């Protein structure tokens, strides 16, 4: 039985080469019915693992980058050799994004915050008006994201909260924005259970967001 202790997302952003796949922190079926066990297992054990493997393979021949953390590699993308920028963007982004996503999903049995509170709660009221409004914005961005990507709640460099859709595995960190909530809308995240009903998947995931984890991003 996996530990119920969730890995802090910043622990993954602090990782340096060689990068490692964090444990899921809960059983594959822990977030059912929102996310079915088969999807959870494939998503974490194969998709997320592949981002980590591909990132390590690409950086093996770049020893000058081994001293940088995952967060630094993403935030400083334009500084790195052109040959590895796409790999860092796609696979480094994939590693960071999924590590946060697993932590944001609350196991059904866990006692976690079902609504934003504390500093993040205050910021959401200031910038969106309500929890319902930020959820609606996250859903609109998730459903409207053409093709693969993520719906993000981010904190901008000017300390404002914004919801935006980003394509592929682009991390908000690429633009110096702090990811707070991310909803994976790649088909690999939902197709086995929801097929083309992305909106239903988004509704279900929004009900399982652990707002304590989201709030920890802005402390």
Nearer to Fe ion, 73 or 189 (CB): 189
Q: How far is the CB of 142 from Fe ion (least distance, A)?
A: 13
Q: Is 127 in the site for Fe ion (CB under 5 A)?
A: no
- Cβ-closest position to Fe ion: 184
Annotated ligand binding at 188? The verdict is yes
Contact yes or no for 145/202 (Cβ under 8 A): no
The residue behind tokens 């060689």 is 18
- Work out the number of other CB atoms within 10 angstroms of the CB of residue 18: 13
95 assigned binding-site residue: no
Which of residues 89 and 120 has its CB atom nearest to Fe ion in the complex?
89
Residues 6 or more apart in contact with residue 9 via CB below 8 angstroms: 99, 100, 103, 213, 216, 217
Is 184 marked as a binding-site residue? yes
Pick the closer one to Fe ion by CB: 30 or 189: 189
Site string for Fe ion, 172-201 (x = CB under 5 A): ------------x-x--x------------
Dump the DSSP string for 17-50: SSP-PPP-SS-TTTTTTTS-HHHHHHIIIIIIHH
Distances (CA, A) of 185 to 14, 124, 198: 25, 23, 7
Instruction: State which residue, 135 or 169, has the beta carbon closest to Fe ion.
Output: 169
Q: Using CB under 5 A, which residues numbered 8 to 67 contact Fe ion? A: none
Cis peptide upstream of residue 143 (ω within 30 degrees of 0): no
Q: Please state the closest distance from residue 65 (CB atom) to Fe ion, in A.
A: 24
Binding residues for Mn(2+): 43, 98, 184, 188
Binding interface with Fe ion (CB under 5 A): 184, 186, 189
């Amino acid at each position: 039985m996996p530990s119920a202790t969730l890995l802090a997302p910043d622990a993954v952003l602090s990782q340096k080469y060689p990068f490692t796949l964090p444990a899921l922190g809960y059983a594959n079926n822990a977030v059912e019915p929102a996310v079915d066990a088969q999807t959870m297992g494939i998503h974490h054990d194969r998709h997320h693992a592949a981002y980590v493997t591909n990132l390590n393979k690409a950086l093996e021949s770049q020893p000058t980058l081994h001293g940088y953390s995952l967060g630094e590699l993403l935030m400083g993308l334009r500084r790195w050799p052109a040959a590895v920028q796409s790999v860092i963007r796609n696979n480094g982004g994939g590693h960071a994004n999924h590590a946060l996503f697993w932590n944001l999903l609350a196991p059904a049995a866990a006692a976690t915050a079902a609504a934003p509170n504390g500093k993040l709660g205050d910021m959401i009221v200031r910038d969106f008006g309500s929890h319902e409004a930020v959820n609606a914005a996250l859903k609109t961005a998730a459903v409207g994201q053409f093709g693969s990507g993520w719906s993000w709640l981010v904190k901008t460099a000017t300390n404002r909260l914004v919801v935006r859709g980003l394509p592929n595995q682009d991390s908000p960190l690429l633009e110096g924005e702090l990811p707070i909530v991310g909803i994976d809308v790649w088909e690999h995240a939902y197709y086995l259970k929801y097929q083309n009903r992305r909106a239903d998947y988004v509704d279900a995931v929004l009900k399982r967001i652990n707002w304590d984890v989201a709030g920890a991003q802005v402390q």
